[in-house]
Chains A and B, each alone.
Chain A
Amino acid sequence: MRIARCFVLWLLVSVAWGLGAPADASAADRPAPRTPARQAERNRMLDVIRRYGMTDETVLRAMAGVPRHEFVPPAQARSAYADTPLPIGHGQTISQPYIVAEMTRLLRLTPQSRVLEIGTGSGYQAAILAEFTEHVYTVEIIEELAAEADQRLQRLGYHRVSVLHGDGWEGWPEHAPYDAIIVTCAAGQIPPPLLQQLKPGGRMVIPVGPRYAVQSLMLVEKDLDERFRSRSVMAVRFVPFVSERTGADR
């Protein structure tokens, strides 16, 4: 009787969380969990990204599958699919959807790619990367963010994303070299250890400039002779978060 009660309780909790055992079990077998919740909003977000000129359908498909609203704080949930970054605490933001798309495209990922992300934040970018490859390593220096992102990714079924609480400057040498490195926090300097952990022929994408000003996305390529070339891809602004009302207006 006690077992039956526990089972019923477990079932209720699982349904309430939307994360029953069958879904968890299947998550390991497919590239990423799919959720129909707020799909219409996600589609509208993708339309906006397309209007910017994004034509890479693999990136768009990946973004269509990741529930962005799960990666923003509850207070921002209504604006989750607005074309703006949103605050996630500790002075950090989840990037504007278009920037996430563009940075992902620039990495040219394949299923075999080994990719390192510096600045896990809420884990949204890592989830997008996990749509492409099984080898996603992400480092976050703020302990609270790292722990929350790890739990969130596990809860949503992104078991193949490895989260490390540590100093992004040092990269994650144990899993190096990487085919791609993505730095999601704006930087005034490019850590030499990250450049060293990039494979010859690898690509690194990094936003350059302050968070609240006009920035460049920088693509760094390491050629086979281990020389670096970089390219200023676009003038972007990781537009700061807007109030819920403003976000809804967009």
Chain B
Amino acid sequence: MNHRAALPSESELPLRRTRVALLLVSAAAIGLQLSLMRALSLQLWSHLAYMVIGVALLGFGASGTALTLLRRLVVANKRAWFAALLLLLAGSVLLIPRAAGWIPLNVQFLAWDRSQAAGLLALELMLLVPFLFAGGAIGVALLDHSTRLGGHYAANLIGSGAGAFGAVLAMHVLTTGALFTALAIVALVAAAVVLPLRRRFVGGLVAVAVLIGAVAYGWPWRPAMSEYKALPGYLDMPGTEILHQVEGPLGRIDVVAGPAVRHAPGLGLGFAGEVPPHVVVLNDGDAASAVYQVHNLADWRFMDATTRAAPYHMVSGRPEAPSALIIGAGGGADIGLALHHGADVVVALEMNRQLVDLLTGPLRARGGEAVYLDPAVTVLPHDARGYLIRSVRTFDVIQLPPVDAFGASGAGLHAAQESYLYTVEAFGEMLDRLSRGGVLCITRWARTPPRDELRALATAAAALRRRGGEPADHLALIRNWATATILASAQPLAAAQIEALRAFCDERGFDLCYLPGLARDEANRYHVLDTPLYYDAAQALLGPGRDAFTAGYLFDIAPATDDRPYFFRSLPWTALFALREEFGAHGRAFVELGALMSAAALAQDILVGLVLIVLPLVPLGGALRGARRRLPTLAYFLLLGAGFMLLEICFLQKLILYLAHPLYAAAATIAAFLVCGGLGSLSTAGLPLGRRAIVATSLVVVALTAVAVVGLDRWLALSLGAPLGARLAIAGLTIAPLAFAMGRLFPAGLAAVGRDQPALVPWAWAVNGFASVAATVACPLLAADFGFRTVLLLAVACYLLAGVSAWRLTDAE
């Protein structure tokens, strides 16, 4: 073979350049997902995150279908298609996020306004475009010789892993708008790497480069923020200005100030004093907290007019100054409350470093110094669970303020989000960190009808029961018009504590809802409900009939656990019928938006996925007419797609607790799965696996996952106290063997199909994409109802059945 013959023709893909381009396009695609999630959180709300993941994978799936239908055209000139798709990706990455801002959308009205569904669909179709190009480009590469697929797939996975890490790092230094420009440049470089050296392609490259420059300079991306978010509302007020604005992976922080900017939620009606001047801190334009400019400790007395002040009154009889742990310090109001009550040790946990930097930097003189830099205060950028597990310090008061903004839970915005703060295990750990006679104070916004408040009470009661206590003796529940506060102690409440709480409530006009020895006619006196609903519910939840009461309540108020950490999702699907019966069309008012969005996304993905999977099979399309082994191919790639995503999400959830930060957990999980999976793929390069080997690898995945179901929690618990670096390494090593095996299965199956039925290759890519979409979106819905353990078992079943399907994928070796 002479040298000239070894060179690929212009229509063929050059091996190394293709892999470099694959790395880059995969990184850009993942980076684009994360950037769009950021952008939508800023413009609308974070519950659209699942929609972005769904849209991205749907775009990949749809590209597979398109390639199936256009296969002959594409195969004839793969390199040109590859380069053209990358150029289109570069242009669309820049233009689509800008154009998406034109769609009028207020998703919180989705249950009411049919036009919102059309707007949402338009947004999804628009966002689909760049992922269609990215998926198309990767799909073209996968049409290469079957012996090269292992290496190509490895480049895809490793690029994706690098993209996830790179995007998160880039968010520390780039604004969201600049991120889109950077991603467009990455796609452009990928195109340049594989571009055939023909005039029109070089011309195209230059044209897209000029377009990127012109758009980035002349049409900067600005978030079209919903006018129903808090920030536009504040800016409508005269004299309001944005003092500071910082962006990072956890969101954009805006600090607003002005004569009409007020924030003091949950104040009792009896408070007639002054609220100190303050600025308001907003995360992604919503979820406000305030930084109060106090001059002396007496200025904090307005905080003493909230139900959150109760625990300090309950421990006030002690000779020594109280110590306090604040979980989610935010603007520092709860730190101020602790200092107001003379606390000499205050540990404040605040995960958002940018917020801490603001309060200790630019906002220092505007109130930050009084709370974050007080000598008694230690601010730690730690996740609460991680701190509770590793710390040995005990506190007289542990304060868990409502970390979500007033109203966010009311609208069900967090219904699809997990929370490891409000679980039986978390409350148990908080109780463990209380000093003798110390009080855990959990405050929730009062809802109509009550839900979160009762669920928090039930969760605290379950935590106390696990410790062997009789919760009825350890708990109290009080409320005012805005908030309900649960007070729990590891020991039975002392008579003096009960008396102090009674006096506290009476002075402020707060209602006692539960207290050992409380009579029914003592409840419901100040903020009057039609019946003493809270009293009756508390009696039922703390008494022997709690299971029947919980089962019969319209909303889900069963204790949340680490296995089902969906505290904010209180509307079970079955309740929708009851709501309709009870309230007619107005029952829609109770629908929780986060869960609704997830369910709508799932239904949409399944519907579109089915259409696009079936389309190439219909006789008219003819693309796959006559192809053999369609059913085993469908089953194998469907199950692999679903199983991979279910496992990845379950591990991510487990690692949130282990690594004590969702960002570390996401980075470690995605990187480990993609990089180790990529290495697994690489191991199949040039060494095609027979069906026995594929089945054996599936069984290895099944066995490793089964081991994880039984022992992962215990294994991770052994090293909970280790430093972060060690825990990151252990997490990666734990995932590595599983991800390596999982990574072998896709290219091995694809190579097998490519040898036997090459027309099915892009279709298999599409099927895999759709299954990944459905699994990603379905995972939180399944976990909310059945728990993550069940989801893991489902993943085991997927890989087991994939092994069975693999047997029919090719002929015997």
Contact = CB atoms under 8 A, between A and B. Distances in A.
A227 B270 contact: yes
Q: How large is the interface on A (under 10, 10 to 19, 20 to 34, 35 or more residues)?
A: 35 or more
A161 interface: no
Choose among A91, A167, A192, A227 the residue with the greatest number of B CB atoms under 10 Å from its CB: A192
A106 interface: no
B245 interface: no
A235 B449 contact: yes
A108 interface: no
Contact of B269 (A210, A228, A237, A242): A228
Given A91-B228, A192-B275, A210 B407 contact: yes
Contacts of A246: 113-115
11 contacts: A142-B236, A188-B265, A190-B481, A208-B481, A210-B406, A212-B108, A212-B411, A213-B411, A218-B527, A230-B269, A232-B448
Given A231-B527, A243-B114, A209 B272 contact: no
Interface of B: 106, 108-109, 112-115, 227-228, 232-233, 236-238, 259-260, 262-267, 269-275, 406-408, 410-412, 447-449, 481-482, 509, 526-530, 586, 589-590
Interface in A215-239: 215-216, 218, 220, 227-232, 235, 237, 239
Nearest to B268: A228
Contact of A209 (B260, B274, B407): B407
A240 B109 contact: yes
A141 B237 contact: yes
A229 B528 contact: yes
A188 B280 CA distance: 14
Contacts of B228: 91, 211-212
A243 B263 contact: no
Contacts of A231: 527-529
Contact of A91 (B232, B259, B448): B232
A7 interface: no
Interface of A is mostly: loop
Interface in A162-186: 167, 169, 186
A218 B481 contact: yes
A191 interface: yes
Contacts of B275: 192
B106 to A, nearest CB: 8
Nearest to A216: B448
Contact of A195 (B236, B238, B269, B530): B269
A218 B509 CA distance: 15
A42 B586 CA distance: 22
Q: Which 8 A-B pairs have the closest CB atoms?
A: A210-B407, A91-B227, A213-B411, A237-B589, A188-B406, A213-B410, A228-B269, A188-B265
A213 B529 CA distance: 19
Contacts of B406: 188, 210
Choose among B232, B236, B412 the residue with the greatest number of A CB atoms under 10 Å from its CB: B236
Contacts of A232: 448, 481, 527-530
A189 B265 contact: yes
Nearest to A211: B228
B412 A213 contact: yes
Contact of B264 (A189, A220, A229): A189
Nearest to A219: B528
Nearest to A222: B269
A239 B447 CA distance: 17
Interface of B is mostly: loop
Given A189-B263, A189-B267, A228-B509, A214 B113 contact: no
A167 B237 CA distance: 8
B108 A215 contact: no
Interface of A: 90-91, 141-143, 167, 169, 186, 188-192, 195-196, 208-216, 218, 220, 227-232, 235, 237, 239-243, 245-246
Contacts of B526: 228-230
Contacts of A237: 586, 589
Contacts of A212: 108-109, 228, 411
Given A188-B406, A190-B267, A235 B227 contact: no
B468 to A, nearest CB: 37
Contacts of B590: 214
Contact of B272 (A189, A195, A218, A230): A195
Contact of B262 (A90, A142, A189, A208): A189
B557 to A, nearest CB: 16
A227 B272 CA distance: 11
Given A210-B411, A213-B589, 12 more contacts: A141-B238, A167-B260, A189-B267, A209-B410, A213-B412, A216-B448, A218-B527, A229-B526, A231-B528, A239-B589, A240-B113, A242-B112
A188 B408 CA distance: 11
A208 B408 CA distance: 13
A31 to B, nearest CB: 33
A209 B267 contact: no
B273 A192 contact: yes
Contacts of B113: 240-243, 246
A20 B691 CA distance: 91
Given A91-B233, A188-B407, A218-B481, A235 B267 contact: no
Nearest to A186: B407
A211 B411 CA distance: 9
A192 B448 contact: no
A228 B109 CA distance: 35
